[in-house]
Structure 1
Amino acid sequence: MKAKPPIRIALADDRKTVELTYSPAEIFSLSAEFLRVHSPSAEVRGHGNQNAVLQVGKRNVRINDISTTGNYAIKFTFDDGHDSGLYTWEYLHQLSHEKDELWENYLNKLDASGKSRDPS
């Protein structure tokens, strides 16, 4: 089953949160940091999901721009210069519904590596 696009995508005034509305009962708030560290780009995921690069120091990242790509994805431009990776409707749906588990896994990886969410 293909995920439908959100009916509304809203960037908060502080540019640190995106709200995705799928229906009146399904509204998700994703932080810029969460979206940045879970970027679907090869730079973050590696090539073929191998050699993924743990993203560190992204606590204060903001979103400069959101643009659509065809009818299947959006692209975020972050203030740290990252602007690759297309967030398909399916991937955004997954991020929205699995946010807590994905975030906990990310924090555990940071902890295990001795790295931090804070910029150096």
Structure 2
Amino acid sequence: MPIQHPQPTEIKLRRNSRVLEISFENNAHFALPHEFLRVYSPSAEVRGHGTGQGVLLIDKEAVSIKEIEPVGNYAIKLRFDDGHDTGLYSWEYLYELGEKQTQLWQKYLDRLQQVGHSRKEPRIKG
């Protein structure tokens, strides 16, 4: 029998602060920045088609989610203002991103530093 992962109870798109808030039935609550969701997109464009083929995205500091599209009872598709709209964010993947947000974000910052890219803090809208 497959492991049952927590289901979301609420999803809020915060456009001005560029955060996707998601609450789960086990009372877990995560605030996931749009940039974080974009650079950790589950799409083949970002992850690649095999192990070790992932792509490091840069200059996504000001990216925003334009729209959230439900996909069945198991995922959402996020449409970003940079044109990216592939990759399904399953409930399991969103929960994993929330649980590992600190470590994954640091990994991303470390990778940027390794390639000599300086991240620019975006201005908060509104």
TM-score of the aligned structures, taking structure 1 as reference length: 0.91
Please point out which of 39, 47, 50 is paired with 2:49. 47
Structure 1 stretches of 5 or more lacking a match?
Answer: none
Q: Which runs of 4+ in 1 moved over 4 A?
A: none
Q: Which amino acid aligns with 2:107?
A: N
Residue 49 and residue 5 in structure 1: after superposition, are their counterparts in 2 closer, same or farther (change >3 A)? farther
- Who is 1:9 aligned against? 11
What is the CA–CA distance in structure 1 between the aligned matches of 2:11 and 2:48, rounded to whole Å? 27
RMSD of aligned C-alpha atoms?
1.7
* Secondary structure of residue in 2 paired with 1:74: strand
* Secondary structure of residue in 2 paired with 1:52: coil
Residue 41 and residue 116 in structure 1: after superposition, are their counterparts in 2 closer, same or farther (change >3 A)? farther
Deviation at 1:76, TM superposition (A): 0.5
Deviation at 1:13, TM superposition (A): 3.8
- Who is 2:124 aligned against? none
1:55-80 alpha-carbon deviations (Å, 9 max, x no partner): 10000000000011111111100000
Q: How many residues align?
A: 119
- Who is 1:99 aligned against? 101
What is the CA–CA distance in structure 1 between the aligned matches of 2:48 and 2:89, rounded to whole Å? 16
- Who is 2:73 aligned against? 71
Identical aligned pairs, as a percentage? 47
Q: Which amino acid aligns with 1:45?
A: R
Q: Which amino acid aligns with 1:72?
A: Y
Deviation at 1:15, TM superposition (A): 6.1
1:76-107 alpha-carbon deviations (Å, 9 max, x no partner): 00000000000011100100100000000000
Q: Which amino acid aligns with 2:61?
A: R
What is the CA–CA distance in structure 2 between the aligned matches of 1:108 and 1:94, rounded to whole Å? 20
2:69 touches 2:78 (CA, 8 Å); kept in 1?
A: yes
TM-score of the aligned structures, taking structure 2 as reference length: 0.87
Structure 2 stretches of 5 or more lacking a match?
Answer: 121-126
